[in-house]
Amino acid sequence: MIPEAPFLFSVAALNASFAGLGGLLIGLRRGADIRPLDNLRLRQVVEFAFANLLLAISVQPFVVLLGPVTGFRLSGAVALVFIVGALPILHRRVERVGIAWGRWWAASAIALSAIGTVLATATVIAPAVGSYELLMIVMLARPMVTFLLVLGAIDEPEHVLE
């Protein structure tokens, strides 16, 4: 087992927890009282968390099979594809349901995507455990921030949400 495995498995477990919480909230809030924005965000929480979980646990077999340099480089490349690929998908979903981007949601999405892109690119160019671990922390922040936006919107009037 690689020395970084406990950290990565902890990140995977935290993401699994977010996926469970997001799924629980989806189940509890299903019905007429859930706003399209909340529904979209909760779906994001679950999707981000599951993708992050796979990113965190895939490093172990990649490094064992390919060696540390290639294993971390491949893991960084997969994360980069996910980060960049998720943006147009999210944009399409937002447009399809006619939701306006609020300033906090847009700022957090842009900032976390930009930081994640930089860290993933750095890991591809110069594979290092530290850059990948920082990337995993940023990736964990994506469902965390989205979940906090949902929690902050509970019991708020529609016009207050951003």
Neighbouring CB atoms inside 10 A of 158's CB total 8
The answer to whether residue 162 sits within a structural domain is no
Which of 26 and 40 is assigned the larger pLDDT?
Answer: 40
Give the pLDDT band (50/70/90) at residue 18.
confident
Residue 32 in domain: yes
pTM of the model: 0.85
Higher pLDDT: 41 or 32? It is 41
68-97 vs 103-125: helix axis angle to the nearest 10? Answer: 160
**Helix, strand, or coil (residue 155):** coil
Residue span of the structural domain in which 151 resides:
5-155
Q: How many angstroms from the chain centroid is the CA of residue 154?
A: 21
Residue 38 lies in a domain: yes
- Give domain status of residue 113, yes or no: yes
The answer as to whether 12 is a domain residue is yes
Residue 108 lies in a domain: yes
Flag whether pLDDT at 1 surpasses 70. Answer: yes
Q: What angle do CA 129, 142, 53 make, to 5 degrees?
A: 55
Question: Is the residue at 100 inside a domain?
Answer: yes
109: enclosing H helix or E strand: helix 103-125
**Can you tell me the mean pLDDT for 136-143?**
93
**Domain tally for the chain?**
1
Spatial neighbors of 56 by CB under 8 A, at least 6 apart, are 8, 9, 11, 12, 15, 136, 139
Query: Average of pLDDT values for 4-15?
Result: 90
Q: Which pLDDT belongs to residue 161?
A: 47
Q: Is residue 160 part of a domain?
A: no
